[in-house]
Amino acid sequence: MNEPVTLETVANAVEGLGGAEQVRANRIRVRTARDDVREAVRRVQRVLPCDRLISISTVDTTTAIELHYHLTGQHRMVVTITVELPREGPKIETVSDLLPSAGLYERQIHDLFGVVFKGHPALTRLILNDDWPADEHPLRKDWKPDPRTFYGGVRQEGGG
């Protein structure tokens, strides 16, 4: 593709998968549904082309868990694909086969927010200790450490 990436070209690329909006001069956001994320990534990669994953950021809004897939290419426009997941049992298909660098971000998000990436080849701990309680995710807004639980690190004298 030799033409510049604009709101119109992004909207055309993801037609039928969600709405596109210009967030800033060099940023366009696409809001899509959980079942459409993989197709949105494919189209953005193929049509625009956005062949580099910048990051996957995560936001706990207290009502949902949002994932933001930030992609770019030689054109320097950042296209963000955004999806909302339910806070209870958040699950989504992995994109690590489409964007190999996504594998590390998905492991981090799984550790810290509890999102399950179905089909991920090795969804194992990356950030937290192996003995961290499986159902506790420290970047969720409702997480409170249990004073009776040892979360790793150095044990304090007289502590749990």
pLDDT at residue number 38: 98
- Average pLDDT along the chain, 160 residues, taken 10 residues at a time: 83 95 96 97 94 97 98 94 97 97 97 97 92 91 90 63
> What is the DSSP code (8-state) at residue 36?
G
Distance between CA 123 and CA 119 in Å, rounded? 9
- Within a domain: 31: yes
For 8, the token pair is 């119109």
Q: Has residue 105 been placed in a domain?
A: no
**Cα separation of 36 and 19, whole Å?**
12
State both tokens at 137: 């995710």
CA separation, residue 142 to residues 87, 113, 151 (Å): 10, 11, 17
16 is a domain residue: yes
What pLDDT is recorded for position 148? 86
Q: Is residue 79 part of a domain?
A: yes
Whether 60 is in a domain gets the answer yes
Question: Residue 36 domain-assigned?
Answer: yes
Domain CATH for 41: 3.30.460.80
Q: What pLDDT score does 130 carry?
A: 85
Phi, psi of 112 (to 5 degrees): -90, -25
Has residue 141 been placed in a domain? Answer: no
* pLDDT number for residue 93: 98
Domain membership flag for residue 30: yes
Q: What is the pLDDT of residue 156?
A: 60
Enter the pTM of the model.
0.91
Burial class (CB in 10 A: 0-12, 13-18, 19+), 63: exposed
Domain containing 59: what range?
7-95
Domain count, the chain: 1
